[in-house]
């Protein structure tokens, strides 16, 4: 009996990766990639949450879609550029004696989007759209921040389908199985080696961050970009933790004699930027009145007062000149 329990424990003591055929499948001539579905699911969920929060702030409903039309393509391009130029330039450009893979640069469905690049260029697209729509970028960033974090939680499962961006070998009971024939399986390790499921850690970290940010917003009414700065701090801390475990290829940058992965340095920069921005908002801007969601001079016209004035002008005054007074009426004697 004990041997059966031990055997069952050994079977359950790992997280299996999906079979290769699950990472993509065909519907007629169309090939669907699970990675892309995870990204799309995250985008839809983020737009839903952002719309709810934006309406609660008093923003116009149609603006969310207009801004997303700009921010999402900018974010995808930024995320891909980050992956190609920062994460793995040797592979795509054939550096250090490797073969170049120029044709794979636009193939985002195969995996490879850097969230730091997506945030940077996506924010630029949002700024352009906010200017066009006449709304304030900080107000929109506060509305979208929890949704972006939730989208990242969904997007990380694309790494699970692609068997990529996992952590170092581990003997923990929730170690991740990787196909030894996978391109991403580290050379020199025996088949059956388990790895830290960093995709799962980061997904759970992001979900916890959504809950925390929403709770802080309910209690303290985060405004003037303080929600967005809090998001940068939370995600940056989580990314630093994940980078201590990940073993995928990344350039090592030495600053002040300290050599760290480039992604870790950028995550540290996110935490510093978020902390400085949050302190500035809390100390300098929070005591001031909330400026609302609209840019100065772009507020919608107050149609209530104008409608009242129009109705008053259109209603003719009731004349009393020819109306007989009640005192002129003949009285009826009591019976």
Per-residue confidence in pLDDT tens, the chain, 335 aa: 444 333 344 445 799 999 887 888 878 888 889 999 999 999 999 999 999 999 999 999 889 999 999 999 999 999 999 999 998 888 899 887 888 999 999 988 777 889 999 999 999 999 999 999 999 999 999 999 999 999 999 999 999 999 999 999 999 999 999 999 998 999 999 999 999 999 999 999 999 999 999 999 999 999 999 999 999 999 999 999 999 999 998 889 999 999 999 999 999 999 999 999 999 999 988 778 888 999 999 888 764 444 444 444 444 444 444 444 444 444 444 44
Alpha carbon distance 230, 211 (integer Å) = 13
Rg of the chain taking only CA atoms, in angstroms: 29
The pair of structure tokens assigned to 90 is 């040797």
Inter-CA distances, 31 with 2, 26, 38, Å: 47, 4, 15
Q: In a 3-state reduction of DSSP, which class is residue 39?
A: helix
Structure tokens at 157: 């499962």
| Per-residue model confidence (pLDDT) at position 320 | 44
Residue 330: its pLDDT value, please?
A: 44
Q: What is the reported pLDDT for 312? A: 47
pLDDT of residue 12: 52
Residue whose entry in the numeric block shows the structure tokens 């989580």: 238
CA distance 306 to 289: 27
pLDDT of residue 309: 42
CA dihedral 193, 196, 197, 199 (to 10 degrees): -130
Give the global pTM: 0.84
Residue recorded with tokens 């994460």: 87
The structure tokens listed for 85 are: 């130029």
Q: Are 102 and 256 in contact (CB under 8 A)?
A: no
What is the three-class DSSP state of 176?
A: strand
Q: What is the largest CA-CA distance in the chain?
A: 122
Angstrom distance (rounded) from CA 101 to CA 107: 11
User: Whose CA is closest to 92, among 78, 106, 76, 79?
Assistant: 106
CA atoms within 13 A on the CB side of 160: 22
**Contact 203/41 with Cβ under 8 angstroms?**
no
3-class DSSP state of 68: helix
> What is the rounded CA–CA span in Å between residue 213 and residue 219?
10
Cα-flanking dihedrals φ and ψ of residue 194, to 5°? -100, 155
Q: For residue 266, give both structure tokens.
A: 């950028």
Q: Is residue 197 a contact partner of residue 167, using CB atoms and an 8 Å limit?
A: yes
pLDDT at 108: 84
Say what the pLDDT of residue 53 is.
97
Token digits of residue 241? 């933790």
């Amino acid at each position: 009996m004990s041997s059966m329990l031990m055997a069952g424990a050994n079977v359950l003591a790992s997280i299996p990766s999906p079979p290769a055929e699950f990472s993509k499948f065909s519907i007629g001539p169309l090939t669907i990639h699970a990675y892309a579905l995870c990204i799309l699911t995250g985008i839809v969920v983020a737009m839903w949450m952002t719309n709810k929060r934006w309406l609660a702030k008093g923003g116009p409903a149609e603006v969310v879609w207009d801004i997303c039309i700009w921010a999402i393509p900018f974010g995808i391009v930024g995320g891909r550029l980050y992956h190609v130029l920062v994460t793995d330039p040797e592979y795509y450009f054939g550096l250090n004696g490797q073969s170049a893979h120029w044709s794979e640069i636009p193939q985002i469905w195969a995996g490879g989007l850097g969230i730091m690049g997506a945030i940077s260029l996506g924010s630029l697209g949002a700024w352009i759209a906010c200017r066009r729509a006449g709304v304030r970028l900080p107000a929109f960033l506060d509305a979208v921040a929890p949704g972006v974090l939730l989208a990242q939680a969904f997007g990380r499962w694309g790494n699970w389908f692609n068997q990529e961006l996992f952590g170092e070998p581990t003997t923990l009971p929730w170690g991740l199985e990787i196909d030894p024939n996978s391109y991403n399986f580290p050379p020199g390790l025996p088949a059956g080696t388990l790895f830290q499921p960093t995709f799962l850690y980061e997904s759970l970290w992001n979900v916890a961050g959504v809950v925390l940010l929403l709770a802080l917003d309910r209690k303290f009414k985060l405004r003037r970009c303080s929600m967005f700065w809090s998001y940068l701090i939370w995600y940056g801390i989580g990314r630093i933790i994940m980078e201590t475990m990940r073993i995928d290829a990344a350039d090592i940058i030495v600053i002040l004699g300290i050599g760290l992965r480039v992604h870790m340095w950028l995550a540290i920069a996110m935490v510093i930027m978020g902390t400085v921005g949050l302190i500035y908002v809390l100390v300098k801007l929070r005591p001031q009145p909330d400026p609302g969601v609209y840019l100065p001079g772009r507020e919608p016209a107050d149609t209530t007062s104008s409608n009242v004035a129009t109705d008053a002008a259109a209603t003719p005054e009731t004349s009393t000149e020819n109306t007989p007074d009640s005192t002129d009426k003949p009285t009826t004697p009591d019976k």
